[in-house]
Amino acid sequence: MIFDTHSHYTDEQFSDREELLIKLNKQKNISEIITCGTDIPSSKECIALANKFPFVYAAIGFHPEELTRIDTDIPALRQLMCDKVVAIGEIGLDYYWNKENKEKQKDGFISQLNLAKELNLPVIVHDREAHGDTLSILKEYKPKGVLHCFSGSVEMAQEIINLGMYIGVGGVITFKNAKNLPEVIKAVPIDKILLETDAPYLAPEPFRGKRNDSSLILYIAEKIGDIKGISKEEVIKITRENAYRLFFEK
């Protein structure tokens, strides 16, 4: 039984999403999926999917990339709250795509961290080429949550864990240019790691560049197992328990 803690099944690449989700659950042992919103319409669609399928859960939020065209609307997010919403996400900072609106991104990130705290929900954090600002904001606001698609240093991973947060690991770990991620996996205890796909993006090797889905998480688990010297079954079991602790325990 496999928990995919990060995906985007509302993406337009998934025109077959309903059949696919059923297949993933029935034939591929995907027992839980969190699908993340990036704005209000996609967050609503995530909730609709979660309401339709018992094994699907929703994260709602404003992705930093969206903040070039829209503003963070906290009342609109608050209005969407329901039982199937298990996190505020995907939120954070992205200085790869946008360096011009750093202050707006930070304001949007912080207001959503405050909303998560008010609602007692974990956060799913995006950090692309914004390690310094992301870490200092997380240290100040101390949310519970996960740093998704972790791309920082071993030292940063240690700081994230010291804050009580989890490290999200996806397809990048299977890439030849994974940089310091294998070292991070070595240094981080397995009970602080979450498995994720970011589907339809970031498909692991040997499917890099293709459409990703939750079944390919096996390749990620296998790679983590190789690095840590444990079986992929153990990786899958322990990381699922981690996800339960973060997303389902109040």
User: Which residue, 225 or 239, has its beta carbon nearer to Ni ion?
Assistant: 239
User: Which residue, 7 or 239, has its beta carbon nearer to Ni ion?
Assistant: 7
**Closest distance between Ni ion and the C-beta of residue 30, in Å?**
17
Find out whether the peptide bond into 200 is cis, omega within 30 degrees of 0: yes
**Closest distance between Ni ion and the C-beta of residue 219, in Å?**
18
Task: Name residues contacting Ni ion, limited to 45-104 (CB under 5 A).
Answer: 90
User: Which residue, 198 or 213, has its beta carbon nearer to Ni ion?
Assistant: 198
The string of DSSP codes covering 23-39 is HHHHHS-EEEEEEE-SS
User: Which residue, 13 or 158, has its beta carbon nearer to Ni ion?
Assistant: 13
> Could you identify the residue written with the tokens 């998560």?
116
**Pairwise CA distance, residues 150 & 183, whole Å:** 12
Instruction: Using CB under 5 A, pick the residue from 39, 45, 94, 198 that binds Ni ion.
Output: 198
Residue nearest to Ni ion (CB): 198
Query: What's the Cα-to-Cα distance from 226 to each of 118, 172, 231, 235, rounded to whole Å?
Result: 40, 15, 7, 10
Task: Sort residue 13 into left (φ over 0), alpha (ψ -120 to 50) or beta.
Answer: alpha
**Pairwise CA distance, residues 33 & 20, whole Å:** 12
**Closest distance between Ni ion and the C-beta of residue 234, in Å?**
26
Q: Tell me the window of 96-104, 130-138, 156-164, 191-199 that interacts with Ni ion (CB under 5 A).
A: 191-199
**Pairwise CA distance, residues 140 & 134, whole Å:** 10
Examine residue 213 and tell whether it contacts Ni ion (CB under 5 A): no
**Closest distance between Ni ion and the C-beta of residue 36, in Å?**
5
Q: Which residues pair with residue 88 across a beta bridge?
A: 60, 123
Q: Give me the residues that bind Ni ion (CB under 5 A), please.
A: 90, 198
